[in-house]
Amino acid sequence: MSVPVWVPGQVLSASDINRWFVVATAIKPGNTSRASTITVTGDPDLTLPVEASAVYELEMLCHMDGVSGADLTIKFAVPAAATLIMINQALIATPANSQADACFAAVTANAMVMGCLGAGANSGCLLKGTLTTGVTAGSLTLQWAQNVSNATPTILHAGSRMSLARIG
C-alpha cells in the first residue's frame, strides 16, 4: 500500500494519524533470562502488532550479556507471507566475538547469532530492516535463545527496544 496523499484543509482521521505518524515501540521493562536452551521462543515484551499489506521500517536495540560461546540466537515471528530483510551491527560469534556488519535476508527463516562477551559483561546489537506484510495482519515478535546450551543464563536486559514505523 502506498502512502496516502492528503490535501490542504483535509481533516485526518484518528486511524490515519495512528497508522502513518505514530511509531509503535515496545521496551523491555525488566530482564529476561534463558539458560540451558537453544530453542528460540518469543520474548514476553518485544512484540508489536502489524497490519496486512503494509511496509514498516524496523529498528531494534538489544542490550544483553551471557557466556562467550553460548551467545544469543535471534529470529522473528511474522504473519503468514510477510518478509523481513535486515542488517545488523553486533558482535558475531565467529571469529571470536569480532565486530561485524552483516546483512541477512529472510530473517524469519534464518537465525542470527550475536556474540556475548561473558556473564556480566554487557554487549549489544543494533538491527535495522524492512518488514513487508502480505494479506494477513498479526504481530512481529522477537524470538531468542542461547546459541549453545549453557547453564549460565543469557540475559536480554531491560531497556532493549523494538520500534516499527509504517512507510508503505
2 is a domain residue = no
pLDDT of 97 over the 90 cut: no
Q: Residue 83: which domain range?
A: 14-166
Q: What angle do CA 87, 38, 118 make, to 5 degrees?
A: 70
The residue whose grid cell reads 536452551 is 37
Q: Which three cell numbers stand for residue 4?
A: 496516502
pLDDT of 168 over the 90 cut: yes
107 is a domain residue = yes
4 is a domain residue = no
- pLDDT tens, position by position, 36-58: 999 999 999 999 999 999 999 99
3 is a domain residue = no
Domain count, the chain: 1
- pLDDT tens, position by position, 98-140: 444 454 444 555 788 888 888 988 888 888 999 999 999 999 9
6 is a domain residue = no
Residue 145 sits in a domain of what CATH number? 2.60.120
pLDDT of residue 110: 72
118 is a domain residue = yes
pLDDT of residue 1: 61
